[in-house]
Amino acid sequence: MTNAVVVEGLVKRFGENTALGGVDLTVSEGTVLGLLGPNGAGKTTVVRILSTLLRPDAGRAEVNGLDVLTQGDRVRATIGLTGQYAAVDEYLTGQENLEMVGRLYRLGGKEARLRAGELLERFELADAAHRPAKTYSGGMRRRLDIAASLIARPRVLFLDEPTTGLDPRSRLGMWEFIADLVSDGTTILLTTQYLEEADRLADRMVVIDKGEVIARGTADELKAQVGGERLELTVSSSAQLSAAAEALRPLAQGEPHRDEQTRRLSLPVTGGTETLAEGLRRLAGTDVRVLDIGLRRPDLDDVFLTLTGHAAEESAAEAGADAAPTAVSAGASR
């Protein structure tokens, strides 16, 4: 399979701060790569270099076989970019926004108008087509933004955190639209902080933290790195977390993860339901009150926690200050 995106040894510094410390990745044509990482990990910097907005300090990047540094014009003609905030002109209507972008992709007036109509229909914006984008909800603006990046049928699409800030319902809707694009054969590089999003949309994933790739593979491969199952329980008060952790420690394959706020405890285990029964027996001998207990297959939250020592949705600053296993919740995406 040919690679639509090739990135080798990408380095970018902003003053003292190294945003990317030598990132390598590839995206095969017609597939979705999920670029995962917490805030400040360098995801947006990768996207900006690939879409020719930033020049790297070292390394090489190709999109559709074109060098982003020396063939910028031709790269721009074959890509679509949806940035972190919806870059739509709020004074133009949906139709006018799309027509403008279409003309700037040099589609010609008539073709731009036709494509704009098609995309407004497809993204369920036809009713709002002639209203200024100012009147749109957050979800509608994002959809208009994605529609704008699709107007010239790009072969590669960069989606930078397409659902950040959306309510859960709009997020689900957005996932359906993105899944549709994939079935059309568009190559997508998607950045996200939401592991569930990557799990749902991406064929392969690259996890970066502090500008370095820390893991890559399919969702299953990454989960396999974490291994086994999770025994998870919720106790009636956070003060009981330590007692519960002590009682269950002999069963755990690694360090138990405590979350004070949700009063949850999570331990990597093996042995299935027998381990669950054994866990219950051990807890019965303590005064821990268990509200909820169960076995769970590891998800990408666990992957992130295992790889980095902190949860995916913490900000980089928090992660630096609080790298202890008693970290903050990893569960906000559920």
Partner 1 sequence: MTTLAETVSDSVTITRRNLIKVKRVPDLIVFATLSPIMFVLLFRYVFGSAIPIEGISYAEFLLPGIFAQTVVFGSTITGASLADDLQKGLIDRFRSLPMARSAVLVGRTVADLGLNVLTIVVMALTGLVVGWRIHSSVGEALAGFLILLLFAFAISWVMALVGLLVRTPEVVNNASFIVIFPLTFIANTFVPTDNFPTVLKTIADWNPVSAVVQAARELFGNTAPSLETSNAWPMQHPVPYVLAWVVVLLVVFVPLSVWAYLRTASR
Binding region for partner 1 (CB under 8 A): 48, 51-54, 73-74, 76-77, 79, 81, 83-92, 96, 100-101, 103-106, 132, 148
114 or 293: whose CB is closer to partner 1? 114
Q: Please, what is the Cα angle at 9 between 5 and 10, to 5 degrees?
A: 75
Residue 128, sorted as left (phi over 0), alpha (psi -120 to 50) or beta, turns out to be alpha
* Closest approach of partner 1 to the CB of residue 88, in Å: 8
Phi, psi of 268 (to 5 degrees): -70, 130
CA-to-CA distance for 184 and 161, rounded, in angstroms?
21
96 or 318: whose CB is closer to partner 1? 96
* Closest approach of partner 1 to the CB of residue 92, in Å: 6
Reduced 3-state DSSP string for 37-76 = CCCCCCHHHHHHHHCCCCCCCEEEEEECCEECCCCHHHHH
Single-letter amino acid, residue 11: V
Secondary structure of residue 25 in the 3-state scheme: strand
54 or 195: whose CB is closer to partner 1? 54
Q: Please, what is the Cα angle at 24 between 194 and 315, to 5 degrees?
A: 35
* Closest approach of partner 1 to the CB of residue 134, in Å: 8
Look up tokens 């133009």; give the residue.
Answer: 92
Secondary structure of residue 21 in the 3-state scheme: strand
* Closest approach of partner 1 to the CB of residue 156, in Å: 12
52 or 193: whose CB is closer to partner 1? 52
77 or 114: whose CB is closer to partner 1? 77
51 or 308: whose CB is closer to partner 1? 51
* Closest approach of partner 1 to the CB of residue 325, in Å: 34
* Closest approach of partner 1 to the CB of residue 158, in Å: 8
101 or 276: whose CB is closer to partner 1? 101
Strand ranges inside the chain, DSSP E: 3-14, 17-28, 32-36, 58-63, 66-67, 79-82, 156-160, 187-192, 204-209, 212-217, 229-235, 257-259, 264-269, 290-296
For the chain, the 3-state helix, strand and coil shares in percent, each to the nearest 5, are 40, 25, 35
* Closest approach of partner 1 to the CB of residue 125, in Å: 17
